[in-house]
Amino acid sequence: MARPGRPEPADHADPGPAAFAGSAAPAAASTAVTAASTAVTAAAEPPVLDVRDLRMHFPLRRSPVAVLRRRPAEVVRAVDGVTFSIARGESVGLVGESGCGKSTLGRCIIGLYRGAAGEVRLKGVPVAARSSATNTQPRVAQMIFQDPYSSLNPKMTVRQTVLEALRVHQPVPRRDAGRRCMELLDLVRLSPQAASAYPRQLSGGQRQRVSIARALAVEPEILIADEPVSSLDVSVQATVLNLLDDLRRELGLALLLIAHNMAVVRHVCDRTMVMYLGRIVESGPTEQLVTDPRHPYTRALLMAVPRLAPGHASLAPALTGDPPSPIRLPTGCRFRQRCSLAAEICASEEPGLSGPGDGSARSAACHFAWTDR
């Protein structure tokens, strides 16, 4: 596998055995496809991921009084009408505050929630159909979770963990599973000695590499990485993000990277979507979004990372207050109670996503996104 020239610092801050980390560059045979070529999707090819008007509302348990009075159950509108698609090889960031629905969206994509409305298609096939398929069918999307420790079985060695994924999904014949397991460890820059380690013997960064190896075992075409570095030491975060970025380029994978922080997605993503209270409120090429944010919420998120928005300090204050409850949403714009630019129209009309009208790939859900207000 040919690796791009990016130096891969060892997880030097990891407390785990140094021998497990930062193995030599992978020696596996190359099927390297660059992101530049893979992101150009043939006209006839469906996007790897296509999400249309996705809604995931969690009904709350009714109180005895509500049952007696026959009041309908209240619902948490975790995801409330989200539409986007991701092409082969594309990396897309999803950012927003805690509770805005990022993880719920990721879980809907891999078919974890049955009550979701709208449509999710992976390579043109509805996710509902895939979830009823047999375990041996290839999995187009794989998820990497925030906390690698709780997502790994503490009683299984690294080798057993990866072999189990290979055994269940059978991307290679059984006789090749051992060899494939070692290739996967090499791919995620873990040394062969790591194969016999248990999760408790590994550092956070190394555990996350094991989670990535397990996800890659089924040869997915898109990785949904849900805050993959937020539980890691700051000095290790960059090495795991670099690994994800390198793997994406080497394997031609698409990536949906979920994060709280704009700085994390800027590092890796071609395009970024900003989510607020269950909806996408701004979307566009990451660099444009960072240098010229059009939604007040995006500006406020950038203000939380001062180095990313040196010129926007005067446009909007940093975020104040908590978002409203996703059970009782305000009328009009969902952001209006926290927006310093709110006007009368913002209370009565909910703005839809709209572009500047110049054919660019940008869009924002604010009545004043494309005016000089």
Helices 204-216 and 234-251 pack at an angle, to 10 degrees, of 20
183 CB-near residues (< 8 Å, 6+ apart): 26, 28
The amino acid at residue 171 is P
Tokens 């990372």, located at residue:
305
CB atoms inside a 10 Å sphere around CB 59: 11
Restricted to residues 260-279, the positions that interact with ligand ATP (CB under 6 A) are 260
Closest by Cα among 345, 319, 352 to 331: 345
- Which residue stretches of the chain are H helix? 35-38, 64-68, 102-109, 127-131, 148-151, 158-169, 177-187, 204-216, 234-251, 262-268, 286-291, 296-303, 344-348
Restricted to residues 241-260, the positions that interact with ligand ATP (CB under 6 A) are 260
Q: Does 278 contact ligand SF4 by CB under 6 A?
A: no
Q: Does 206 contact ligand ATP by CB under 6 A?
A: no
Residue 253 near which of ligand SF4, Mg ion, ligand ATP, none (CB within 5-8 Å, type-dependent): none
Burial 101-120 (b: 16+ CB within 10 A, else e): bbbbbbbbbbbeeeebeeeb
Q: Does 76 contact ligand ATP by CB under 6 A?
A: yes
Selected binder of ligand SF4 within 55, 201, 341, 355 (CB under 6 A): 341
Going by the DSSP 8-state scheme, the letter that residue 201 receives in this structure is G
Q: Does 279 contact ligand SF4 by CB under 6 A?
A: no
Residue 58 near which of ligand ATP, Mg ion, ligand SF4, none (CB within 5-8 Å, type-dependent): ligand ATP
Helices 158-169 and 177-187 pack at an angle, to 10 degrees, of 120
Least distance to ligand SF4 from the beta carbon of 333, Å? 3
Nearer to ligand SF4 by Cβ, of 180 and 336: the residue is: 336
Selected binder of ligand SF4 within 242, 339, 353, 363 (CB under 6 A): 339
Q: Does 103 contact Mg ion by CB under 5 A?
A: yes
Nearer to ligand SF4 by Cβ, of 69 and 373: the residue is: 373
Restricted to residues 51-70, the positions that interact with ligand ATP (CB under 6 A) are 58
Least distance to ligand SF4 from the beta carbon of 289, Å? 15
Which residues are near ligand SF4 by CB under 6 A?
295-296, 333, 335-336, 339, 341-342, 346, 351, 366-368
